[in-house]
Every structure is written in C-alpha cells, then in structure tokens.
Amino acid sequence: MLAKRIIPCLDIKDGMTVKGVKFVELKTVGDPVELAAAYAQQGADELVFLDITATHEGRKTFVDLVHRIARHINIPFTVGGGISELSDAEALLNAGADKISINSAAVRNPQLINDLSRHFGSQFVVVAIDAKQEEGAGDWTVTVNGGRIFTEKKLFSWAKEAEDRGAGEILFTSMDHDGVKQGFANEALARLSEELNIPIIASGGAGNMEHFRDAFVQGKADAALAASVFHYNEISVPLLKEYLSEQGIPVR
C-alpha cells in the first residue's frame, strides 16, 4: 500500500540552516547535510530545502549545497526558493535535486509550469501555493511574499490550473494555520485532494501528532510537511510514524 509521506522542511540561508536546531547532537551547528542525513536515518520520507537567501552569491552557495546533499542522502528531496526560470531549475537538477518547488514565480508567470514540466517532466515540478482564507467565505486568496501580498488568484482554481499546466504535486500552505500549531487546513486540503488528480502536500499548522493524522484522514493529503516541530524535537519522526501506524494510516 502506498504510504503517506512525512516531510521535514529546512530553511537555508547562505548554505546553512536558519534556526537553532535542537533536533540532535550535531557536530556542526547549522549544517544542512548533517541534519538531512539525520532525518533520512530517522525515517523521513522526503526532505524539502527552501533557500531564503536573496543574494547572487548565496544562490551559488545553495547550488553547491544541493550537490553535497545529493551525494550524502538517498531519499528524494525537493529544493525551492528563487527559481524563476528554466536555467535556475536546470542548475538544481544537475546538482542532483529530485524536484523543484516554485511559488511566486509561477503566480507571476504561469507558463513557467508548462516550460518546466515539458523540459524536465511533471514529476520534477512542485507548485507551492500560499493562501489565506477570505473572511466569512469558503474561498482562499493566493498570496506571495510570505503572505504579505494578495494576488488575484484563488486557491482551488489556481491549483487546478497548475495541474493542467503540468505540475506534478501541489504543496499547499495555509497562511492562517502556519506557525499557529493548531492543525492543518483540513477542509481546504480535502477539497484540493478531491478536485485534483495529483498528490497534495499539506503544510502549515502542525503542532502535535494528531494534526498529522487529521491531515491524512480529514484532509485526505498524500503527504504532510512541517519544520519547527521536527527541528525543535517536539515531534520525532519515528514516534510520529509509530503513532500514525497505530491509527491505521499506512506509513513506511
């Protein structure tokens, strides 16, 4: 049976993990490769690395880092942040990334999804969508720049468009739930999962193990992503897997 995936997400700046990570006794504080290897060993199903570096120098450092990650871990990993054209994606593919995630660049230029999937295959293209729920209404507005800028796009129609343009997966982050640790946006997730035929990754809101169960059962998500609960060792991947398995959810 296909397992539900658990995906730790690492924010990277200038080639290092951003937050002080209490996760394990690491030899080098902030070394993404060592942290990634530790997560892989713990049973993480995939990893996501988001480059939040703004400078050109930092971008080069990130590509070098992707190269090192690919040499040291052998589970799939996605990289995102700052990808706005084919050549950015190609550099990351050549460095060994299994998938890339695009967010605001796809909102600005939807054709990028078509171009990337045609060149590298749909399985390579994750479209990340940050959205906020509208007051009183059921619909969600797509945002960019970390939820600060509202766009004309709506979550469900944009996700469907991304699928039609060749996205291989949708990574949906609810900006209302992100960082609050009160659970994922399960209603919206379930609607995405029902309306689309590509996998949906839930993001934003993980605070305890029940939240992951709810994202899979109520939210019908194919995978769930979280950062701080893993980095601060509030939830360990092996214990989470054990819990989900007891709840009848297929995990590796």
Partner 1 sequence: MAQPEIVIIKYNAGNIRSVNNALIQLGYRAEITADPEKISRADKVIFPGVGEASTTMAFLKEKGMDTLIQGLTQPVLGVCLGMQLMGSHSEEGSVDCLGIFDAPIRKFVLPRPNPDNLKIPHMGWNQISDLKSDLFDQSMEGAYVYFVHSYYAALGPHTAAGTNYFLSFSAALQKDNFFATQFHPEKSGPVGLRILKRFIEL
**What residues make contact with partner 1 under the rule CB under 8 A?**
1-5, 40, 45, 70-72, 74-76, 93-94, 96, 98, 120-124, 168-169, 193-194, 196-200, 220, 222-223, 252
Token pair, residue 33, equals 């490769």
Query: Which one, 21 or 40, has the nearer CB to partner 1?
Result: 40
Instruction: Tell me, yes or no, if 11 is annotated catalytic.
Output: yes
Query: Which one, 36 or 107, has the nearer CB to partner 1?
Result: 36
Cα–Cα–Cα angle for 84, 6, 26, rounded to 5 degrees:
85
The closest alpha carbon to 114, from 218, 105, 56, belongs to 105
Query: Which one, 58 or 199, has the nearer CB to partner 1?
Result: 199
Selected catalytic residue, list 11, 45, 178, 214: 11
Indicate the length of the chain as a whole number.
252
Selected catalytic residue, list 45, 51, 88, 130: 130
DSSP 145: T
Q: Measured from the CB of residue 54, what is the shortest distance to partner 1 in angstroms?
A: 28
Beta carbons of 131 and 140 less than 8 angstroms apart:
yes
Inter-CA distances, 31 with 19, 23, 95, Å: 11, 12, 18
Q: Measured from the CB of residue 149, what is the shortest distance to partner 1 in angstroms?
A: 30
Half-sphere exposure of 73 (CA within 13 A, CB side): 29
Q: Measured from the CB of residue 150, what is the shortest distance to partner 1 in angstroms?
A: 29
Instruction: Tell me, yes or no, if 115 is annotated catalytic.
Output: no
Q: In whole angstroms, give the CA distance from residue 156 to residue 238.
A: 33
Q: Measured from the CB of residue 43, what is the shortest distance to partner 1 in angstroms?
A: 8
Residues involved in catalysis = 11, 130
